[in-house]
Amino acid sequence: MSSMNGRKIAGFAAAVLFLSTPGVAEASNSSGWRAPAPDDRLYAVTIFMGEGTENNFSNIIENFFDVEGSTDHVLGLTASRLLGWYGPSLSFEAELMYAYHYGREVYHEIGTAAYARWHDFPWNDYVLTTAAIGMGPSYTTEFPQLEAQPDGSRSRLLNQLNLQTTFALPSRPDIALVARMQHRSGMFGAFNGVTDASNFLTLGLRYEF
C-alpha cells in the first residue's frame, strides 16, 4: 500500500472516529433502532457553494487550515429524508444531490448518499450542532480537470464521501449553517483505477421541515 493510500485511510479513520467512540456506542445501544417520531422533522433542503482544492483528502484532514485553492467552484442543492434513529443521538438519512460546477470548466454532477448524523454535543444549549458523514455514488457530465490522474485514469462515476457539520440556534433548530466537505474518489482504484479525485470545501444553509 502506498504512503498516499495510508494517509488517506488514516484521514478517513479520523473523520469517522466520532461514530465509534465509547460515548457514541453507549448512547446508541441504550435504545436500539427506532423509526422517526411524529414530531421529527422528516425532510431537509440544503443549498451550498464553495471552492475546489488541489489538496487530497488526507491532506485536508491533517492540515485543514493550510489547503491550496483552485479556480474550480461549485453550487449545489440537496434534498434529504430522515430514515430513523439508533439510540437517542445517532440518526440516519438519505440524500439526493445536484451540483453545478463552474470556473475552470462547466459541468453538472448528480449523486445520492446515505448519512449517519451525530446530534449529542455538550454545548447544544447554546449552539445546536450535528456532525455527519455520508457516502454514495456520484456522476459528472464531464471528466473534471481537477480529477485528472497522473496515469491518465478517469471515470465520470465515482464514490462521494461527504463530511458535514451544522450549527443552529436553539430558538430556530430548523435552520442551520452548514460546513460541508464534498469529496469524490475511486475508492482506492476500484472505479477504473481512480484514487483521490476531487475535494470541495463549501458553506451553505440547511432547512428542515
Q: How far are the Cα atoms of 39, 91, 101, 130, 165 from residue 142, in angstroms, in the given order? A: 42, 34, 10, 33, 29
Residue 176 has pLDDT above 50, yes or no: yes
Please state the rounded mean pLDDT for residues 80-108. 97
pLDDT of residue 65: 65
Query: Rounded CA gap, 89 and 112, in Å?
Result: 23
Residue 120 amino acid letter: D
Query: Rounded CA gap, 52 and 202, in Å?
Result: 9
- Helices marked H in the chain: 3-16, 22-29, 57-62
Higher-confidence residue of 77 and 10: namely 77
Task: Report the mean per-residue pLDDT for the chain.
Answer: 84
Strand partners, 51: 73, 201
What ranges do the domains of the chain cover? 3-208
pLDDT of residue 15: 44
Residue 169 has pLDDT above 80, yes or no: yes
Residue 113 has pLDDT above 50, yes or no: yes
CATH code of the domain made up of 3-208? 2.40.160.20
Q: Tens digit of pLDDT for each residue in 37-84? A: 999 999 999 999 999 887 666 677 766 666 777 889 999 999 999 999
Q: Tens digit of pLDDT for each residue in 134-164? A: 999 999 999 888 877 777 777 889 999 999 9
